[in-house]
Amino acid sequence: MEALLLGVGLLLGAYVLVYYNLVKAPPCGCIGNLRGRTAVVTGANSGIGKMTALELARRGARVVLACRSRERGEAAAFDLRQESGNNEVIFMALDLASLASVRAFAAAFLSSEPRLDILIHNAGISSCGRTRETFNLLLRVNHIGPFLLTHLLLPRLKTCAPSRVVVVSSAAHRRGHLDFKHLDRPVVGWQQELRAYADSKLANVLFARELATQLAGTGVTCYAAHPGPVNSELFLRHVPGWLRPILRPLAWLVLRAPRGGAQTPLYCALQEGIEPLSGRYFANCHVEEVPPAARDDRAAHRLWEASKRLAGLGP
């Protein structure tokens, strides 16, 4: 019995050490007042995006929830207005898988919103699900759509400078490898999906790096942010139904809550004094070094040119 109790105690102690050192996110102690500023958060109807939007709303910002589902987006906007006490939270339709939808969102936003101070690319997918497209759906949603949206909104960001762009990436970028000859090849099967997801997260990091170079001196800065291991819809969305009851309690134990996952994106969006670090990759509210493939300036520029072509912005 004593041995059993000792074993349980050691397991609990190990869990506490792991949780507080590796899982629990440091709080974001950034700017407190955002009145008069406007932020766009993509994929803000749930998870990290919703918690990010909530904190921006609590600080007084006008927050645009850019989401694919009108029903879920409107419901999230209502929730956030109630919880934050800020009525300046609105929904606008955006489907990053559709370049036409990205252009329509940008046109609607620019015609109705005079300011854009913070643009947070939070939306993303980890699997194609049952969708079969003639293009790389993961790259389209996780990188090409955000790339096009940034390009279309840049004039407003420059007008409102100092302003910021935050690209939510992932530690999965470390496993990424960009095959520029087949960037837009359709993804089939779970093994290809795993590789394509990592590749899209590498594209996020390189995009932030090249965007910083392109925008040097404009007052617009940009950052790639890793939210950490988060218990969100992205984690369970494509898990088989029979496996979810098993994984849900495990995820609750070892993964961050969405509020914790929002801390590093918020830090990149709000923290004063990090402008010289534009283009860098952040994790746990600190700059983190990336592998050589993620700091390759030639690859970043090559990706920029390829992205312009895939987004319909160049030959």
Q: Which positions are catalytic?
A: 197
The SS3 of residue 167 is strand
Span between the terminal Cα atoms of the chain, in Å: 73
Cβ neighbours of residue 18 closer than 8 Å, sequence gap 6 or more: 254
Look at the block and give the residue holding tokens 């392109």.
214
CA distances for 255 relative to 23, 44, 72, 293, 311, angstroms: 6, 20, 24, 27, 34
Tell me if 303 sits within 8 A of 178, measured CB to CB: yes
121: left (phi over 0), alpha (psi -120 to 50) or beta: beta
* Residue type at position 56: L
CA–CA separation, 151 and 168 (whole Å): 17
Can you spell out the DSSP letters for 65-129?
Answer: EEES-HHHHHHHHHHHHHHH--S-EEEEE--TT-HHHHHHHHHHHHHH-S---EEEE----S--T
Question: Could you count the other beta carbons within 10 Å of the beta carbon of residue 149?
Answer: 27
CA–CA separation, 179 and 192 (whole Å): 13
